Amino acid sequence: MTRRIATLLALLPACALATPDEVPFAHLNTVRPAAVEGNWTSMKLPDGGRTAFASMSYLMAYDEDWGFGPGFYGAAKGNYGGIFTVGFTGQRRWRLSRNTHLAASLYVGAGGGLSSAQLRFGGGLMLRPELSLRTEAGAWYSGIGISQIRFPSGNVKSGVGLSFTLGRAMDFVSFSPDDAGRPARAGRRTGLGFDEIALTGGFEKPTASSRTRGGTPFAGKVGKAGAELRQYIADGSWWGVEASGAAKGGVDGYMEVLGQIGQDWALFGTPRLRVGGQLGAGLGGGGNVDTGNGWLLRAGPTLRWITPWGPSLRLDTGFTYAPSGSYTAPYLRAVLAMPLDRTPTLIGDDPGGTVRVQQLGASVMHLSRVRFKDGRQEAVSHLAVNMSREFSPHVYGAAMAGSAAVGSAGAYSFGLFGLGLQSDPLWGGLRFGAEWLLGAAGGGGVAVGGGAVTQAEAWAQWQLAERLRLRAGIGEFRTLRSGQQSTSLTHLQLSYAFGTLQR
């Protein structure tokens, strides 16, 4: 992110000239440095055990020195699989030489897991400052630094120790959000660079060898709901990330985040019907599921139908396996995927598309009356990462993931996705809208039945600057299958808006 932000000359190849009879094409408005960054931080916990947190963050340059973006941390060592947090990182970099830079970072997130009398995460708020020295080799960089992890309202706090970083620099390319609805062309991916977003739902049936953390056998199925982002490298080849949580089966609070790769091929000579396989690896745990140190492996076949209308339907099956735990389960899930972009083509071969607005932001939600499993009711505040994408001027898709940060529900986490409706911009960019989200939640002693939850909200949004949006909303959060939980909510959201190409 300390490279100079690309000049206008870098944008010219992606611009198209319009004839007098055509609507003018929108031009790429911004090319900013960005990076995907992971780190590893070891720490000793208050109960005497040792663990390490692995993380993955996406950082986008605000200017030549500052960057920000969402990320997550999860336990990846010891018998602590299931400790997760979700939040945002702010980072300042100083260029020391051509291939070396110094970075100071602060991660603010929320979450927890595996709470006990010796291990308390309090309200769930997590802070992680870091100072590190990095060496660059092409687009890749690695570094070593010092950091500290602490949950201020609990007793989980590490000393200042070593941390290790591995990252890859890239570009964040976008149109102005004011160009929404205009035709455009681009010789590269825009926005976050993913080609597809998908909603997933299915179940796992743990084998007889699977155990809870207490050592008792599993009984019944585990229902899951989640979301997935995918980028296609070539025809039928992809990589991506997926996140899901328990929505049924008595293991509310279970969560997993995995990276994946895969390949499929045309079936019976029909390019729209494809069969193949995929591999995944990542972190998971919680909900009394024994995943050991948290690492999960997943593999299996996949069947995909690309509809003539754009969306894809998919059926996935296979096995999920925790190498250091006692959890093995065959899975079956259905997937609905919506296109975002596609593999870039040369400008001359690119038919173009339409600019749609996408937003990435941070949310603070206050739930006034949360019911716990022990019968008490308290107010709880959540910190969440949110993303939305317009499908048309008045319809958008939304996804949100977060955890409790204030109150006594530390280790409570949730993931939601759904659709919303919005008005045209009114005075000064003011908009009104409403959305309905579904998903999975659990942990922290909060009563959520099997884990399936829903949230409805009405909102007003103000445009503070070309790319900055402030939104306030009111609504209701409740469990989907039972009356265990129903509470009003207030929601404040600050988002960064950018234009992406819908082809």
Query: Strand (E) positions, 45-124?
Result: 50-61, 66-75, 84-97, 100-112
* CA 258 – CA 296 distance, rounded (Å): 8
Cβ distance 92 to 66 under 8 Å? Answer: yes
Q: CA-CA distance, 355 to 502, in Å (whole number)?
A: 6
- Give the amino acid at 339: P
For the chain, helix, strand, coil in percent to 5 are 5, 65, 35
Identity of residue 18: A
Q: Which fold has domain 194-339?
A: Porin (2.40.160)
Identify the CA nearest to 477 among candidates 416, 421, 419.
Answer: 416
In angstroms, the CA 206 to CA 429 distance is 51
Q: Which pLDDT does position 386 carry in this prediction? A: 93
CA-CA distance, 21 to 27, in Å (whole number)?
18
pLDDT at 348: 58
Q: Provide the pairing of β-strand 30-44 with 161-174.
A: antiparallel
Answer for the pair 499, 176: CB distance below 8 angstroms, yes or no: yes
Q: How many CB atoms lie within 10 A of CB 311?
A: 14
Decide: 436 and 420 in contact? Cβ < 8 Å.
Answer: yes
**Strand 237-248 with 222-234, pairing:** antiparallel
On whether the pTM is more than 0.75, the answer is yes
Cα pseudo-dihedral 283, 286, 288, 291, rounded to 10? 10
Same fold, 8-174 and 194-339: yes
CA–CA distance, 243 with 132 (Å, rounded to integer): 29
3 state SS of 347: helix
User: pLDDT tens per residue, the chain (503 residues)?
Assistant: 444 443 333 333 333 334 334 557 788 877 889 999 999 999 999 988 999 999 999 999 887 789 999 999 999 999 999 899 999 999 999 999 999 999 999 999 999 888 777 888 989 999 999 999 999 999 999 999 999 999 999 999 988 999 999 999 998 989 999 999 999 888 788 888 888 899 999 999 999 999 988 889 987 889 999 999 999 988 899 999 999 988 888 788 889 999 999 999 999 888 999 999 999 999 999 888 999 999 999 999 999 999 998 899 999 999 999 999 999 999 999 999 988 877 666 555 666 788 999 999 999 999 999 999 888 999 999 999 999 999 899 999 999 999 999 998 888 999 999 999 999 999 878 999 999 999 888 888 898 888 889 999 999 999 999 899 999 999 999 998 777 889 999 999 999 999 998 87
Task: Report the alpha-carbon distance of residue 413 to residue 420 in Å, rounded.
Answer: 22
Tell me the β-bridge partners of 418: 398, 437
Cα(266)–Cα(252) distance, integer angstroms: 38
pLDDT in the model for residue 118: 84
Distance of CA 437 to the CA centre of its chain: 15
Task: Please tell me whether residue 2 adopts helix, strand or coil conformation.
Answer: coil
Q: Domain ranges in the chain?
A: 8-174, 194-339, 353-502
CA distance 250 to 451: 8
Residue 365 one-letter amino acid: M
Q: What residues contact 26, with CB distance under 8 A and at least 6 apart? A: 175, 176, 179, 182, 183, 184, 355, 499
Domain 353-502: assigned CATH number: 2.40.160.20
CATH class, range 8-174: mainly beta
